[in-house]
Amino acid sequence: MGMVPAAEKLSVRARSLVVTLLAVVAGHVGDARADEGGVSFWLPGQFGSLAAAPAQPGWAFATIGYYTDVSASGQVAASREITRFRLSPTVNVDLNATLRARVPSDFVNANYVFATPVLGGQFAFGMTGAFGRPTASIDGVLTASIGGLTATRTGSISDSRFAFADLYPMASLRWNQGVHNFMLYGTGDIPVGTYDPSNLANMGIGHGAADGGVGYTYFNPQTGHEISVVSGVTYNLKNTQTDYQNGIDWHLDWGASQFLSKQVFVGAVGYVYQQLTADTGQSPILGEFKSRVIGIGPQVGFLFPVTDMQGYLNFKGYYEFDAANRPSGWNAWVTFAISPAAKSEPGPLAKSVVHK
């Protein structure tokens, strides 16, 4: 379906939501991701449609309900046992065990978009926190032996708690050139969340991290076509409580959508996550323990006024496949955001966004 006559207003409305939605560095929930014990800093899927498009200056706020249900066996389950029970890295481990994690959580973000251009682009800075109740369990048999001593653990171990995540600051710089939009971003992990290496269920990751990357969005308000791609790299600091350091991670998030009207769009989302360098400090039986996963799924979004602000509601979900050395399954996101409304005065799009 083609665009409605108010296509220019649609473009400005859509852009006015972007920084709120995509500055949400939707954190890094323990037991649901990769690297040490299956947990990484980067949460795949946090970038999506309109990722690189500039927004309206001012304060914007977002909340994201996030739920994931994932499982893993073999090395991932064994690594959690090694960490939890502080087993020596010289032990020999039988990998007949399965890890499952379910994480309902909510992420809250505040973000400010500056009106004054920086290097010809639009600068924004925000902070995200999260809380939830992660649950994790390990079922099966794990046998550890060293020298002539052997210990076997059989059955189920489970753990659940209300917890807070780390804090995730994010800065971004965006430029617009007609239907083309470009972005640079930087983010990181401030490790203040709930974390204990003896827990199966954590929301903090126990170490700092730095992540940066680039993004591109094509958005044509006349046709309603949109596609976005964001790629970045994560450097992880050492977890001093476990003497373990995750390798360097690469990630790519993408989204594609079609606006059916100035209030509704539908489309698809996806991600690719690949660990580039090996972890250090792990048990030798786990080898390099590099992780990867691919995810894909649908999305639908709605735009609507909220008093004198602009509201946005988005639903998206991912099914994961081709996973290695990390839990995989599915995850779902429900996003609600409010941001400054687009200026109502007539004129070209250039009056409402920052151009390079």
Domains of the chain: 7-342 (2.40.160.40)
H/E stretch holding 311: strand 309-324
Which residue is listed with tokens 């639009």? 122
> Which pLDDT score, from 0 to 100, does residue 72 have?
66
Q: How many residues does the chain have?
A: 356
What are the residues facing 229 on neighbouring strands?
216, 254
Of 284 and 46, the structure prediction assigns the larger pLDDT to 46
φ and ψ at 21, to 5 degrees?
-70, -40
Per-residue pLDDT tens digits for 314-328: 999 999 998 887 778
* Predicted confidence band of residue 189 (pLDDT cuts 50, 70, 90): very high
Question: Mean pLDDT of all residues in the chain?
Answer: 80
CB–CB of 156/137 below 8 Å? yes
Which sign, positive or negative, has the C-alpha torsion 186, 191, 193, 199? positive
Count Cβ atoms within 10 A of the Cβ of residue 88 and give its class: 0-12 exposed, 13-18 middle, 19 or more buried. Answer: exposed
Which residue is listed with tokens 């969005």? 217
Torsion, Cα 18 24 25 30, to 10 degrees, reads: -140
* Sequential DSSP letters for 116-179: S-BTTBEEEEEEEEEEE--EEEEEEEEEEEETTEEEEEEEEEEEE--EE--BEEEEEEEEEETT
Q: How far apart are CA 86 and CA 77, in angstroms?
A: 14
pTM: 0.79
Percentage of the chain surpassing pLDDT 70?
71
> Which pLDDT score, from 0 to 100, does residue 214 have?
98
> Which pLDDT score, from 0 to 100, does residue 22 have?
45
In which region does residue 347 sit, left (phi positive, over 0), alpha (psi from -120 to 50) or beta (all else)? left
* Predicted confidence band of residue 100 (pLDDT cuts 50, 70, 90): confident
